[in-house]
Amino acid sequence: MFGRGPAPGGGPVADDGAWLRSMLAAEAALARALERAGLAPRGAGAAVTKAADAADFGTAELAELSRAAALTGSPVPGLARVLTRRVADPAARAAVHAGATSQDIMDTAAMLLGRDALSAAVTDLTAAADAAAGLAGTHRRTLMIGRTLLQQAVPVTFGQVAAGWLSGLDSAVEWLAFVRDTRLAVQFGGAAGTLASLGADGTRVRALLAEELGLADPPLPWHTERLRVIDVAAVSARACAALSKVARDVTLLAQAEVGEVKGSPVAAVAILGCARQAPGLLATLVACAEQEHQRAAGAWQAEWQPYGHLLELAASAAAWSRDLLAALEVDTARMAANLAEAGGMPLAERVSALLRGPLGAPQAHDLVATAAAKSAMSGVPLRDVLLATPEIEVVLTKAGISHARVEAALDPAGYLGSSEAFITAALAAHARPTPGPVTAGAR
């Protein structure tokens, strides 16, 4: 429904076609690894790779795969049979699926899907973060009402709002890239994780398979140690969480009665639609981590759909966010008008601080509370109440507080605290180069 996250080769990152392409890539790479290890005849890798082109699979073959998956509980046995039949050279057919179990192919395919999805999300989130950085820099002094508990609070700047978005997006990019570069590993263990059918050549074939696919070569098979899957899922859900903050802010600020930004409601709603589904999918994958002995009965199979769906959601939300922030329009005049319409009430805290020294905290609190109540009931700005109510004016005069000091206390531009420093820090962090891939091996 919300699909906007294309894989590098085009198309969704984790639909049935993407799973098929990734499984075929794993099978083809295994044949090439076996040939390189001297366990398959010369040319076997190329022959299997040629046969493993998903674009060449016809309707009848796809239907056969579907039927076989229903009979065997996994799409891999049927895929191996169809792929073997498609290999033109009879001598090369022995290289199809040799030494592997179905889970080896499915898990390796899941890692390939993860790489595509995380890469797509990183690209789009980086563009979204760049747009947020532009907004933060441009609007670092654009005043607006701050809002806490959905109520008006002290003034902020839109630049700081955008800097908050930027910080979350940068963090999402950092962790997506970290998992993509350090936690995606090939799976190759055979029936029970020993690679017994390959004898002493098992680890060498696994290393070559990892090299062929550009995945890490882990210390041992991880058939029932599912933290790699959870890591991919967690950073995907984390990215959705960061994006939901941006999208929710945009929907609230774009409400007709607020009108402080204008953006695509479709993009914002699509992001929120993606993000709402992510926590449940992550929870399912965490629950699936309890797996029995060397190979699981049910929990592993339960991963496939939520894992793929979560990848799709993260990539899609990231693509929508790129469009949302690149086209976001900021109505600075409306922000100023909404702040002015508040009648100085957001600055009541600052006026209390001004009066606390000469009057003491209790009297300062009571005076400002009385003035604020009168302002709220009458619609008269707080400034006018403070400066035109005789009993309040008497107190201010006795305390030596001039009209000019009250006026200054009610100037929102003078009550922004460390906002400027926060924006500068967020922009500086964004400008720092992202660490490159970790190449020392999978963790």
DSSP H stretches of helix in 183-226: 202-213
C-alpha 280/C-alpha 172 separation (Å) is 19
For domain 16-335+424-431, say whether CATH 1.20.1280.290 is its number: no
| Residues making up the chain, counted from first to last | 443
* H or E element, residue 317: helix 299-326
Extended strands (E) in 276-344:
329-330
Amino acid at 83: L
Q: Which two three-digit tokens encode residue 131? A: 């747009």
> CA-based Rg of the chain, rounded to a whole angstrom?
30
State the greatest distance between any 2 C-alpha atoms of the chain, in Å, as a whole number. Answer: 104
Sign of the Cα pseudo-torsion (363, 365, 369, 372, in order):
positive
With H, G, I as helix, E, B as strand and everything else as coil, classify residue 40: coil
Check residue 435 and give its pLDDT. Answer: 58
Name residue, tokens 């910080």.
Answer: 167
For the chain, report the end-to-end CA distance as a whole number of angstroms.
Answer: 35
C-alpha 40/C-alpha 91 separation (Å) is 9
Say if residues 352 and 366 touch (Cβ distance below 8 Å).
no
With both helix axes pointing from N to C terminus, report the angle between 102-138 and 158-182 in degrees, rounded to the nearest 10.
160
Check residue 4 and give its pLDDT. Answer: 58
Read out DSSP for 98-135? TT--HHHHHHHHHHHHHHHHHHHHHHHHHHHHHHHHHH
* Residue range 6-51, pLDDT digits in tens: 443 345 788 999 999 999 999 999 999 999 999 999 999 999 999 9
Say if residues 19 and 75 touch (Cβ distance below 8 Å).
yes
The three-point CA angle 401-402-403 to 5° equals 125
Residue partners of 33: CB distance under 8 A and separation at least 6: 45, 205, 206, 208, 209, 211, 212
Say if residues 351 and 386 touch (Cβ distance below 8 Å).
yes
Q: Which two three-digit tokens encode residue 216? A: 């890490």
Check residue 401 and give its pLDDT. Answer: 84
Sign of the Cα pseudo-torsion (404, 406, 409, 411, in order):
negative
* Residue range 183-205, pLDDT digits in tens: 999 999 999 999 999 999 999 99
* H or E element, residue 62: helix 59-72
C-alpha 307/C-alpha 231 separation (Å) is 11
C-alpha 323/C-alpha 317 separation (Å) is 10
Backbone angles phi, psi at 145, to 5 degrees: -75, 135
Say if residues 272 and 247 touch (Cβ distance below 8 Å).
yes
Ranges of the chain with pLDDT below 70: 1-11, 434-443
